[in-house]
Amino acid sequence: MPTASDLTGHAQLGLTLRAGHAGADRPISWVHASELTDPTQFLSGGELLLTTGFALPETRDGQAAYIGRLAAAGLSGLGFGVQLGHDEIPEPLLAAAEASYLPVLEVPHRTPFIEISKTVSQALADTRSAEAHRFETARTALTTAAMRGEDLGGLIGRLATELTCWAVLLNPDGTVVHAEPTRAAEHTYALAPDLDRLRAVRPPSSIGSSADGEYVAAHSLGGGHRLAGFLVVGRDHTFTSTDHHITHAASSLLSIALTRARSAADPRLRAIALKLLLTGHRTAFDELADPLGMKLPGEPVVVLAGSGHSPTLVDSSATSDLLAADLDGELVAVASAAQQLPSARHLGVSPPTELDGLPGAYRQARQALTEATRHGAAVIRFDDLGVGLLHDVTDQGIGSRAEAMLRPLSAHDAQQRGELVRSLRAWIAHHGHWDPAAAELGVHRHTLRHRMSKVAALLDCNLDSPDVRAQLWLALRLVS
């Protein structure tokens, strides 16, 4: 994630770090602009707050109190625009910020706040894309290690490498099976209380703890009422959300290997194999598919994404014309383009593609499923959505940028139930006509006008601009 220190490295912004150097490496989660003397009710922590100081208290104590409120709210920095309300940043404010370890960036008059927002938004999108790639790469490596190793030691070693941590696999009674490095087995003596807590609940489950600068995560392995063992990882710094996703992937693979129940393991392995194929990891898929008897359909193929119970998707998953599994709560299949469509409550279908185009087709099928669910349709093909150039939008970074563009609205909706995303979608779909859009939403047109004013303020944009509307519509379609 970007930091105040990172932003000073963007020469085009011309930002100067004036105070709070000790906190300059704090991650920035978002950018918010406000001239309020107390904007903390609109902040959730981690933001870079931009201000011109228009309403800044004139007294030293007032400015110190202002900085104190921002620091207590957990801000990652303050961007102060000069030559607008103030020729320079007041010294009392800088002194208070330095004492509070709150980074203060001086923003020159030539730099619009929107350029800082765009820079942070792009950096966040790049971070998410890199983390997603890291997770997929790690999961592929772990799957390969699990398939190649007889004793699971390779998987434990691979996990320790991916997370730069120590990792231990234990039997249900707590005895060590594998440890990487070998001396990591010494950590298990202090784990008895955590393991007892995990034994008290149905696996799989997990628990985290920290003590003496050591961060530990323990996972119970198995399923149902059967405990198959434990996976424990630890290191001297916290685990990120991507680290946790990687550890959960390793736990799933270990649970499959340890339970040794072929009838139960096959569906989970088939789901892992199909996900690898749909995310572009063909080599890893081939290594899993062969022992599972999974055969690729003949090209061209389509991707199907369905909701609701679909026996024809599940029961036909071993045929040569259809590969299917339950992925993240959706029934997903890769089928020959000539295959008859299976039944499902709602079904999204991608355009025909070659096998190397499956990642893009997967996204298209899920988008079509979203539309089918929204409109209550049995089947919607991506080609029927009328999205034209969206066929060519396959760069994952573009989707991340679309999510970043709409994040202020989705964050507002999550916190205050303002339905801004839904209102923006309806308003643009009705070409900016208030009455039909309000009727679709079931609200008064004045309520919709108020919502759209909030949208314009949060996004800092002019909704009368056709370019802005086009970009927002594209973002809505990409993240729907």
pLDDT averages per 10-residue partition of the chain, 480 residues: 93 95 93 93 92 93 96 95 92 96 95 94 90 89 75 88 94 91 88 89 88 88 83 93 92 80 57 86 78 80 79 49 79 82 77 89 87 82 63 57 84 81 91 89 89 90 86 80
The answer to whether the Cα torsion of 400, 401, 402, 405 is positive or negative is positive
Q: What pLDDT, on the 0 to 100 scale, is given for residue 389?
A: 46
User: Which CATH topology does 138-260 take?
Assistant: Beta-Lactamase (3.30.450)
Contact 278, 334 (CB under 8 A): yes
Q: What pLDDT, on the 0 to 100 scale, is given for residue 323?
A: 84
Distance in angstroms (rounded) separating the CA atoms of residues 288 and 299: 20
State the CATH architecture for 4-111: 3-Layer(aba) Sandwich (3.40)
* Six-digit token string for 381: 């093909």
Q: What pLDDT, on the 0 to 100 scale, is given for residue 451?
A: 92
Distance in angstroms (rounded) separating the CA atoms of residues 142 and 147: 9
Alpha helices by DSSP H, listed for 260-328, are 262-278, 282-292, 311-315
Q: What Å distances lie between residue 362 and 18, 331, 351, 368, CA to CA?
A: 47, 12, 10, 10
The pTM assigned to this predicted structure is: 0.53
State the angle between helix axes of 241-259 and 153-163 in degrees (0 to 180), rounded to the nearest 10.
180
Q: Reading across the β-sheet that carries 16-19, which strands appear in turn?
A: 16-19, 104-107, 77-81, 47-51, 30-33
Distance in angstroms (rounded) separating the CA atoms of residues 363 and 457: 31
Q: What Å distances lie between residue 387 and 374, 392, 406, 454, 478, CA to CA?
A: 16, 10, 19, 27, 10
Q: What pLDDT, on the 0 to 100 scale, is given for residue 149?
A: 58
Phi, psi of 220 (to 5 degrees): -85, 140
Q: What pLDDT, on the 0 to 100 scale, is given for residue 266?
A: 60
- Name the amino acid, one letter, at 395: D
